[in-house]
Amino acid sequence: MDKAEAGKRIEVLRQQLEEYGYHYYVLDKPIVSDAEYDKQMQELISLEAEYPEFISDDSPSVRVGGEPLPFFEKVEHRTPMLSLGNAFSEQDLRDFDRRVRQAVGDEVAYTCELKIDGLAVSLLYEEGKLVRGATRGDGTIGEDITANLKTIPAIPLRLKEDVTLEVRGEAFMPKRSFDQLNLAKEQAGEEKFANPRNAAAGSLRQLDPKIAAKRNLSIFVYAIGSIEGKEIHSHYEGINYLRTLGFKINEESKHCESIDEVIGYTTEWLEKRGELSYDIDGIVIKVDSLSQQKELGFTAKSPRWAIAYKFPAEEVVTILEDIELSVGRTGVITPTALLKPVQVAGTTVKRASLHNEDFIREKDVKLGDSVVIKKAGDIIPEVVNVLTELRDGSEREFTMPTHCPACESELVRLEGEVALRCINPQCPAQIREGLIHFVSRNAMNIDGLGEKVISQLFEHQLVRNVADIYKLEREALLKLERMGEKSVDNLLEAIEKTKQNSLERLLFGLGIRFVGAKAAKTLAIEFGTIERIQQATEEELIAVNEIGEKMASSIVRYFSTPEVSELLEELKQLGVNLTYKGAAPIAGVTESLFLDKTVVLTGKLHQLTRDEAKEKIEALGGKVTGSVSKKTDLVIAGEDAGSKLKKAEQLNILVWDEEQLLEVLHS
């Protein structure tokens, strides 16, 4: 076979293998035997090895896995992958429906989808070719796991149309694959995976794609994140379009015309979930109309047009053997039940939350009790109640300590609080927890510096405060267990990179009591620098929207301590940024038409995106909200504006079109 013949044969093999894979992994209707598929795949791999000039990154041969990666790159999603709000009852679903209809009117249809228990991913295609696959991450920034995702046969490497789009999907491990994997681990004497979700997530976060390739993963694609050159009007229409492009779609999705239909669907699948070949943990309900989705908009954390109905948590009985006490970063002492290991919702549970001292007294918890536990929201194990009728007299009383288990300082209960608290600022447990918080995803987000590494650094006295993180030296790190040259270099690079973070990340990372991520950003925008926040009085802080008296008092108290001043000066000397870098209101705006006005955007804008318009209005002193009320000062109505425009007219609220908006912005 000469070079030209080899090129032709390679192309034929690629087309055949893609077609075979589509029928087998997407349609579940194989058209050739496994032996024939494997034979052609081996022929393709051999030809590509012999004629490397024909190697292509969308060849079916990439599904066997390529070379190991040194680390995963961070990537930004084109549109954020927000988490969903939860519903746990029929009434929660009806409340969701009521909120939707109040906002967009009574003509609402929904799409219901099985909530696959896997790992959310995004897939980016340019002109029909897969160019990137990423984890959800924090919703805005994920990890590039393209090499691993290419090993999933149900993910098309090239679409049936040359379209550019970003899609969302849930990668998962079928039950059969999970059973086979755990059997192999058991035979090899290795620790088994707790459930298919953990197995899928662990497989896709392997740096060696060959490992992921052996795990027999699959995927259901469930939404279009963004698309170029095509109009899609409803979510259900979008799903069907994805099917025509060659994606694997969950065929159990259903279009529902009413909330009663939705509730019927959730009831049906609660009973039938065990019949599926994969795990689900609930139902996702979405408003079907994309224009209504746009009108409903988002909260800070989740879309207002979708909700996840979580199946009732499984409850089991086990023995509470002991109670362990931990010290949080704010000094709160938290009791945790140590349990006789038991299976709950697919995982082995050994610990469960007991919340606080009042909870233990209220439930009359004793050591040795038989207790009912469940996973709250299918995630966090907690003690539900005590089966006192099963007591035999061997149970023992538990008494909360009077002194901190970490530093022996006397514990206090602050007025109005249920928790016992250690107020010693030098408590080692609090310092360690504070360091873990500082490097976490929503704070400084230092990649590679997780809880285990922080604990190791703390035990070796390499870090005692957050500034010490920026003083870490290569030679000292190399002496630590499991810290090779490459991992140390990557860690130091990640630490150095975070010196350029915007102020709000540092502010949240400092762990000031009552200051969450949202409040940190509000403060950063309002004051601009850490120095100005440090100098602010309680009155100045309370004057900021969303900053209350308790938070203001906590901020002033925090920044008034000499230790904090020394820490901030140290961070400054180490090159850590102490200013806000994001979009901010225009300084000196005193005559803007938007100043102190509440504005609502509705309908489709042509010359600005909704986010661009919002940013410009807020920069001129306005506040953009998602719903029309008597407090609304102005509604900007684009094309196809719906119920919000009608409500504005009913309330006699001023309405502008896009041209009027642009005219004011340009002036």
C-alpha–C-alpha distance, residues 188 and 425, integer Å: 48
Candidate list 115, 374, 614, 647, residue with the active-site label: 115
- Produce one character per residue of 558-589: b if its CB has 16 or more CB atoms within 10 Å, e if not: bbeeeeeeeebebbeeeebbbebeeeebeeee
Dump the DSSP string for 584-633: -PPTT--S-TTTT-EEEEESB-SSS-HHHHHHHHHHTT-EEESS--TT--
User: What is the spatial distance between Cα 643 and Cα 104, in angstroms, rounded to a whole number?
Assistant: 5
- Contact between 350 and 343 under an 8 Å Cβ cutoff? The reply is no
Under a CB-based contact definition with an 8 Å cutoff, are residues 529 and 578 in contact?
yes
- Give residue for tokens 């870098």: 581
- C-alpha 633/C-alpha 596 separation (Å) is 9
Q: Has 115 been annotated as catalytic?
A: yes
d(CA 614, CA 257): 32
Q: Are 536 and 461 in contact (CB under 8 A)?
A: no
3-state secondary structure of 394: coil
Between CA 234 and CA 238 the distance in angstroms is 6
10 Å Cβ neighbour count for 149?
Answer: 25
Answer whether 340's CB lies under 8 Å from 319's CB.
Answer: yes
Non-local CB neighbours of 524 within 8 Å, separated by 6+ positions: 502, 503, 504, 507, 580, 582
Question: Cα–Cα distance between 118 and 169 in angstroms, integer?
Answer: 10
Q: Are 465 and 431 in contact (CB under 8 A)?
A: yes
Catalytic residues: 115
